[in-house]
Each structure stands twice: as structure tokens, then as C-alpha cells.
């Protein structure tokens, strides 16, 4: 899936990226304390957004010759 996003459109992902960052930190903390029975789950919306962002980043890197 190829996604072409302008740099300003990246801002729309900010809330989702912040949620993902918080979730990663919580997961890390849970794993450190061996409390993995309450691991948070990513929503489908967050997974789709992450995949779109990854596709955009790969496209930008390819265009810049950094891939």
C-alpha cells in the first residue's frame, strides 16, 4: 500500500503516535515489573495509522535516496 502524505498531514497522526508512545512505555514498564497480564492492546485504528505512516516514511526515504 503506497500512501502519499504531505508533511503537514503528518500532524494528523500526532495524537495516535502519542497514544502509541504511551502504550509502548506502559508495556515496557509492565514487562520490567513482570505484570504482563494487563498489557494494553493497540486498536485497529492505531495499527492502520502506523502502517500508513510507515508507508509514507518509506516513500519519503526512497524519494530522498536513503532507502
| Domain with 13 in it | 7-64
10-residue stretch averages of pLDDT, the chain, 67 residues long = 55 73 77 64 75 80 71
Counted domains in the chain: 1
Q: Give a yes or no: residue 1 inside a domain.
A: no
Q: Give a yes or no: residue 33 inside a domain.
A: yes
- Say how many Å lie between the first and final Cα of the chain, rounded: 17
Q: Give a yes or no: residue 20 inside a domain.
A: yes
**The pLDDT value given to residue 20:** 79
Contact 17, 53 (CB under 8 A): yes
Q: Give a yes or no: residue 46 inside a domain.
A: yes
**The pLDDT value given to residue 1:** 44
Q: Give a yes or no: residue 2 inside a domain.
A: no
Amino acid at each position: 500500500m503506497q500512501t502519499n502524505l504531505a508533511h503537514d498531514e503528518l500532524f494528523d497522526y500526532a495524537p495516535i503516535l502519542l497514544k502509541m508512545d504511551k502504550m509502548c512505555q506502559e508495556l515496557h514498564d509492565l514487562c520490567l515489573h513482570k505484570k504482563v497480564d494487563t498489557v494494553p492492546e493497540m486498536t485497529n485504528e492505531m495499527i492502520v495509522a502506523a502502517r500508513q505512516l510507515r508507508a509514507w516514511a518509506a516513500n519519503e526515504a526512497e524519494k530522498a535516496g536513503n532507502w
